[in-house]
Amino acid sequence: MATAVYTVEGMTCGHCVSSVSEEVGQVTGVTDVQVDLASGALTVTSSTTVDDAAIRAAVEEAGYTVKG
């Protein structure tokens, strides 16, 4: 298992958290997604190496951006 942490910008409510969780959860190999609204932290657990580009694309698909 691999874990990666990102900072998501632009989230303001619970719906934002749900959108990010849903999109990232659909990335192949992702087994768990935790999103903290207050800090913007997105923690992704994957059965294989976390595909950074796919995670960033999923966050963008949800309408937000990954800082950095």
DSSP string over 16-60: HHHHHHHHHHTSTTEEEEEE-TTT-EEEEEESSS--HHHHHHHHH
Contact indicator for 46, 30 with CB cutoff of 8 Å: yes
Q: In whole angstroms, what separates CA 68 from the centre of its chain?
A: 14
Q: How many domains does the chain have?
A: 1
pTM for the full predicted model: 0.93
Read off the tokens for 26.
Answer: 């659909």
Q: What is the CATH number of the domain that holds 24?
A: 3.30.70.100
Query: Which residues of the chain are under the pLDDT cut of 50?
Result: none
Q: What is the pLDDT of residue 57?
A: 98
User: The domain containing residue 23 runs over which residues?
Assistant: 2-66
Contacts of 61 (CB under 8 A, 6+ apart): 23
Q: What is the pLDDT of residue 68?
A: 77
Q: What is the pLDDT of residue 41?
A: 98
